[in-house]
Structure 1
Amino acid sequence: MKLYYSPGACSLSPHIVLHESGLPFEAVPAPTKTKKLPDGRDYTAINPLGYVPLLELDDGQRLREGPAIVQYVADQVPAKQLAPAWGTMARYRLIEWLNFTATELHKGGFSPLFNPAMPDAVKDATRTRLLQRLQWVDGELAGRPYVLGDTFSVADAYLFVVAGWGKYVGVDIAPLQNLTAFVARVGARPAVQAALRAEGLLK
């Protein structure tokens, strides 16, 4: 398998999950700004949408969208318990968290703050709404180490990545003690450290 990623982007989530899975894979940098691969090819020839992540399977099939990719990877190694079994309420809770993180935090919250063309008034309103969402997450994490309870899942990888963007866009999560502890807890996992190191994000 090949994972196309851009350092520190949302593709860090499947990068972490692949390390957690123990499956063999190749990580290929696909910078979102230049769209140029290490071999000089144009990344848009592989993903016409131009963004990451993208997972290329050994049979040549390509899978886009982080929440889909992480669930696919988790289902290849059920013994690792990276995702609950299909058909269980726990699986739907996982999907609920992945969708919440994708829409309310990632695209609806942080993405506008990274856009230099976005007016300051819009950014201020976005930060306010985002902090409200993060306060809700903080409450959900009270008394449990991971979003689904005691077991690390692919939803934790995604939340960890997105919550880590606050320091770049003026969103301080330090007062959110449960979320801050969660980020530290997930960040200490060996697979997370390996992914961060591979992306040049860990000195």
Structure 2
Amino acid sequence: MKLYYSPGACSLASHIILNEINVDFDLVRVDLKTHTTEKGVDYYEINPKGYVPALEINPGLILTENVAVLPFLAQHDPKQDLIPPSGLGRAKVLEWLGYLNSELHDAYAVFFGPELSAEEKQRAYAGIDKILKYTEEYLQESDYDYLVNDHFGPADAYLFVLTNWSSMIGHDLSAYKNINALREKVGSRQSVQIAMRDEGLIP
């Protein structure tokens, strides 16, 4: 398999899950400003949508969108317990991926477009906080070690990656005790450390 990624972008979640499963894969860096790969290939020829992640499963067979790529990868090695094979447990993973993708991802994304005024930033921070407060309260009431169950999975990786963006936009996460506890747990995993080093995010 081959993952098209941009350092620190949401494709980092796929990179993390790839490190968790027993599979060989290649990484291809994409410049999202020029929409070219590190070898100068027009990325639109690979993924007409123009953004990451894109997972090349076989030559010419491309899968895109986090809500599709992450479950596909997570189910690759059932021994890893990254995602339930069926039933309500699997549905809960998809529920969280959908929520993170449609709500939290979009809330952060406004910071990566045209520059925001001070007033627009405060409104955007409030939008992020609304979603994080829901997640914080959910974790507070949950008896699980991770978002969905007692096993690390794709929703945990995705939440970790998205909340990483707070440091890039001057957003304070200190009020979110449970989210930060989960972030620390996820961030300490070898799969995460390797992915972040490979993408140049940590030494």
1:58 and 1:45 map into 2 onto residues whose CA distance is 16
Aligned equivalent of 1:131:
129
Deviation, 1:59, is 4.6
Q: Could you list the per-position Cα deviations for residues 127-164 of structure 1 after superposition, in whole angstroms to 9, with x for gaps in the alignment? A: 11210210111121225321013111111110110011
Aligned equivalent of 1:121:
119
| 3-state SS in 2 of match to 1:76 | coil
| 3-state SS in 2 of match to 1:57 | strand
Deviation, 1:48, is 1.4
2:96 and 2:180 map into 1 onto residues whose CA distance is 18
Deviation, 1:114, is 2.1
2:92 and 2:171 map into 1 onto residues whose CA distance is 26
Equivalent residues of 1:131, 1:171 under 8 A apart:
no
Equivalent residues of 2:147, 2:156 under 8 A apart:
yes
Q: Could you list the per-position Cα deviations for residues 91-121 of structure 1 after superposition, in whole angstroms to 9, with x for gaps in the alignment? A: 11101100110011001x1001222344443
Aligned equivalent of 1:96:
95
Aligned equivalent of 2:138:
140
Structure 2 residues not aligned, in runs of 5+: none
2:22 and 2:174 map into 1 onto residues whose CA distance is 32
Aligned equivalent of 2:171:
171
2:151 and 2:138 map into 1 onto residues whose CA distance is 15
Which amino acid letter does the alignment assign opposite residue 78 of structure 1?
A: P
- Structure 1 vs Structure 2: percent identity of aligned residues? 38
Report how many aligned residue pairs link the two structures.
201
2:70 aligned with 1:70: yes
1:59 and 1:47 map into 2 onto residues whose CA distance is 13
1:151 and 1:57 map into 2 onto residues whose CA distance is 25
Alignment of 1:100-111 (within 5 A): 100-107=99-106, 109-111=107-109
1:120 and 1:51 map into 2 onto residues whose CA distance is 28
Which amino acid letter does the alignment assign opposite residue 81 of structure 1?
A: D
Structure 1 residues not aligned, in runs of 5+: none
Equivalent residues of 2:31, 2:38 under 8 A apart:
no
2:43 and 2:113 map into 1 onto residues whose CA distance is 22
Which amino acid letter does the alignment assign opposite residue 30 of structure 1?
A: V
76-85 or 136-145, which deviates more: 136-145
Deviation, 1:74, is 1.5
Aligned equivalent of 1:51:
51
Q: Give the TM-score normalised by structure 2.
A: 0.94
1:4 and 1:59 map into 2 onto residues whose CA distance is 13
Deviation, 1:70, is 1.0
Which amino acid letter does the alignment assign opposite residue 58 of structure 1?
A: N
